[in-house]
């Protein structure tokens, strides 16, 4: 089965809503129907930008997808500062990033919180982009596959095979994020293969074959083609290079 690649730009805590509009307008100009036939392209801006991005994408009928960087495990209530999946669904978010290493580190999100967020996204019809990945110390001890598989099992605990169909996995080795130190195509491929094998085991071969697995960590236009050459790598979660529309568009056009 052929999987449609996904190139998603995680803006992190960058670009206000006015800058977001300018970036999306540039992307709309740079990325054309031919690209959208071949690749799904998404922007993942900060919460404060999402309404502006939605209005522009809907109003101009752009084929660009969008999502959010986090969500609450709860749907509503006394949770000051949090944003729910209900709210994100109402804004038309296709995706929500869950379990990014920056949230695991700076907000102490453990596997059980990640699991509850995956469930909250699915309950609201939003596809989680579930991030997994090892630190440099774990890789130095050759523990990366065991670590990633354990993150994966915990995050997907209690999720039915039918729900797994909606999930996207992003393998983001922590040592590659924001360092310029991109994983080798072989490392990205071998982890993607291990992730797919695990999902095939837990959810069945057919769902394993359908699952989109992205690589993230210092992806640039100069390295995207070799990363995408891996048979199990179905796209990229791009941080820094997604803030510059020309560069992000070059990445989205990797197939040309």
Q: Which residues bind ligand 13P (CB under 6 A)?
A: 10, 100, 172, 177-178, 216-219, 237-241
Closest-CA residue to 64 (of 72, 56, 76, 52): 56
Candidates 19, 37, 100, 226; catalytic one: 100
Angle at 127 between CA 123 and CA 128, to 5 degrees: 95
Comparison of 125 and 178: residue with beta carbon closer to ligand 13P: 178
Does the annotation mark 107 as catalytic?
A: no
Comparison of 194 and 237: residue with beta carbon closer to ligand 13P: 237
Q: How far is the CB of 196 from ligand 13P (least distance, A)?
A: 20
Residue 95 φ/ψ, nearest 5 degrees: -125, 155
Rounded Cα distance between 40 and 149, Å, is: 26
Q: How far is the CB of 181 from ligand 13P (least distance, A)?
A: 9
Q: How far is the CB of 78 from ligand 13P (least distance, A)?
A: 30
Rounded Cα distance between 29 and 35, Å, is: 12
Does the annotation mark 106 as catalytic?
A: no
- Tell me the C-alpha to C-alpha distance, in Å, between residue 88 and each of 69, 103, 128, 197: 10, 18, 12, 31
Candidates 109, 134, 144, 172; catalytic one: 172
Catalytic residue positions, numbered: 100, 172
């Amino acid at each position: 089965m052929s999987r449609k690649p996904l190139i998603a730009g995680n803006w992190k805590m960058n670009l206000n809503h006015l800058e977001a509009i300018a970036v999306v307008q540039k992307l709309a100009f740079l990325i054309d129907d031919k690209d959208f036939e071949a690749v799904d392209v998404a922007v993942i801006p900060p919460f404060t930008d999402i309404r502006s991005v939605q209005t522009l994408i809907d109003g101009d009928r752009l084929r660009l997808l969008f999502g959010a960087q986090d969500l609450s495990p709860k749907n509503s209530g006394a949770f000051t500062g949090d944003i729910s999946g209900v709210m994100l669904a109402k804004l038309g978010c296709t995706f929500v990033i869950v379990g990014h290493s920056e949230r695991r580190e700076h907000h102490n999100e453990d596997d059980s919180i990640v699991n509850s967020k995956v469930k909250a996204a699915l309950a609201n019809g939003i596809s989680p982009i579930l991030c997994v990945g090892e630190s440099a110390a774990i890789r130095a001890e050759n523990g990366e596959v065991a670590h990633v598989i354990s993150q994966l099992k915990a995050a997907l605990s209690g999720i039915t095979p039918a729900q797994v169909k909606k999930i996207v996995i992003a393998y983001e080795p922590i040592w590659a994020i924001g360092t310029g130190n991109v994983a080798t195509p072989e490392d990205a491929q071998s982890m993607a293969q291990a992730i797919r094998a695990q999902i095939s085991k837990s959810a069945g071969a057919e769902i394993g074959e359908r699952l989109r697995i992205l690589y993230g960590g210092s992806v640039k236009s100069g390295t995207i083609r070799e990363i995408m050459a891996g048979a199990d790598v179905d796209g990229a979660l791009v941080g820094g290079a997604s803030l510059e529309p020309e560069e992000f568009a070059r990445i989205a056009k990797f197939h040309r």
